């Protein structure tokens, strides 16, 4: 199985488990990952983010395999646009 087929076969549920394992060093059931499993899990998470999720997180991997780091200004603009429900001035209140 090639890498693209492997990554495309990962379901969102499996990706969540992989992310949990990569960030905590344990599977959701509490079993500790070996060093080899940690390395492979991180690689799979990065591949999934790059190829499938097209993640917009601050630190992620793009489709070309390069690290994407967003600036504080870029993140503020994203959060502002996504989370705004209404905007008021002090005279409106």
92's tokens: 């409106």
Question: Helix or strand or coil: residue 8?
Answer: helix
Which pLDDT value is given to residue 48? 86
| Residue 63 pLDDT class (50, 70, 90 cuts) | low
Which pLDDT value is given to residue 81? 56
**Dihedral sign, Cα of residue 59, residue 63, residue 16, residue 74:** positive
Longest dimension (CA), the chain: 63
For the stretch 11-41, pLDDT in tens is 989 988 998 898 899 999 999 999 999 999 9
For the stretch 75-90, pLDDT in tens is 677 666 556 666 677 7
Which pLDDT value is given to residue 65? 65
Residues written for the chain: 93
- In this structure, are residues 7 and 18 in contact, taking their beta carbons and an 8 Å threshold? no
85's tokens: 């429900």
């Amino acid at each position: 199985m090639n890498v693209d087929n492997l990554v495309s076969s990962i379901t969102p549920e499996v990706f969540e488990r992989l992310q949990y394992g990569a960030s905590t060093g344990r599977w959701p059931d509490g079993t500790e990952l070996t060093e080899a499993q940690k390395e492979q899990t991180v690689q799979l998470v990065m591949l999934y983010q790059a190829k499938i999720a097209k993640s917009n997180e601050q630190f992620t991997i793009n489709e070309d395999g390069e690290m994407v780091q967003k600036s504080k200004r870029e993140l503020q603009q994203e959060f502002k646009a996504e989370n705004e429900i209404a905007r008021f001035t002090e005279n409106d209140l």
